[in-house]
Structure 1
Amino acid sequence: MKTFKLKKLIVKEGIEAKLLQHEIKLLDGLIINREDEQNRWLIEAFIDQSYLEFFKRLEEERQEIMLEVKITKESNPPATFITNIIGVNEIGDRMNVLFMGTIVDRRIHYIEDLLERLVKEGYKGEELLRKFKAIL
């Protein structure tokens, strides 16, 4: 297992065909690559208890939750995870939220989107390959 510092947490929530982003002010946090067969990560956010109602609601809905996080440094690019809440714990006037999930490889999505765009623009065969390599 590898453990990293959680520097930023954004919860992305779909409500009525809109994607709402909730930036959660962290007091502290960890993110652990479990390196298991399912390629799961454990994310712990230590936060103010003012978020209790929000996270209890998400936990009760039992739906997958998309997170965007920054790991180790604020300057790092964000990583996207598809998670479930596995615990919400009150700790005095603070709380922690535990998520379990998998990382979304944004590079694959970028490449798929790029190829789709080039095909729509009419590129094909060798011309498609040359244009694709030139952009990457």
Structure 2
Amino acid sequence: MKTFKLASLDIVEDSSSVEVPLVDGLVLNKEDDHYTWLLEAYTDVKFYDYFSKIHQEKREIIVEAKITKKENAPAYFQMEICSLLKFEHHISVLFEGHLRRNKSDYSELLLDNLLQKGFEGKELLHEFKEKMKCKPKLKVKQ
């Protein structure tokens, strides 16, 4: 099993994403036969109702996580909430699931996003290079 710091977390909804500010967080690659990952997010209690609804519905969600540093390319996971604990001012959300896209797919997602926005030719190349430097959040097709 390998453990990493969870640097940022977003829940990707249909046409938007919900940024979850972290107090702390962990990412665990279980390195099992099923390629299972665990993410634990420790965040503000105001997100309890949001996560509680997802947990009660047993709904799979797409999680965009940046591991170790916020500057790193995001990793996308398809996950379910397996535990939700409420404390006085914070909550702990434990997700379990699988890596959906690896970091090398970010460039493909970015290119698709820029093409959808109508970029072409040299303008496309310039925009692609600029965005690869700052790695903005992208919407993932489900």
TM-score by length of 2: 0.71
Could you list the per-position Cα deviations for residues 10-58 of structure 1 after superposition, in whole angstroms to 9, with x for gaps in the alignment?
Answer: 00123xxxx2200000000000000011101000000010100000011
> How far is the alpha carbon of 1:108 from its aligned partner?
6.0
Residue 77 of structure 1 corresponds to 73
Partner of 1:123: none
Larger radius of gyration: 1
| CA distance in structure 2 between the aligned counterparts of 1:56 and 1:12, rounded to whole angstroms | 16
1:118-129 residue pairs with structure 2 within 5 A? none
Q: Deviations over 1:70-107 (max 9, x none)?
A: 00011110000000000110122111000001001344
Q: Tell me, which stretches of 5 or more residues in structure 2 are unaligned?
A: 113-142
Aligned counterpart, 2:20: 24
Q: Which residue of 2 aligns with 1:13?
A: 13
Aligned partner of 1:130 in structure 2 is: none
Using the alignment, how far apart are the partners of 1:91 and 1:27 within structure 2? 13
Listed as ranges, the gaps of 5+ residues in structure 1 are 115-136
Structure 1 runs of 4+ aligned residues shifted over 6 Å read none
- The alignment's TM-score, normalised by the length of structure 1, stands at 0.74
1:59 maps to what in 2?
A: 55
What is the RMSD of the two structures over their aligned residues, measured on CA atoms? Answer: 2.1
Q: How many aligned residue pairs are there?
A: 110
Structure 1's 51 and 108: CA in aligned 2 closer, same or farther, altered over 3 A?
Answer: closer
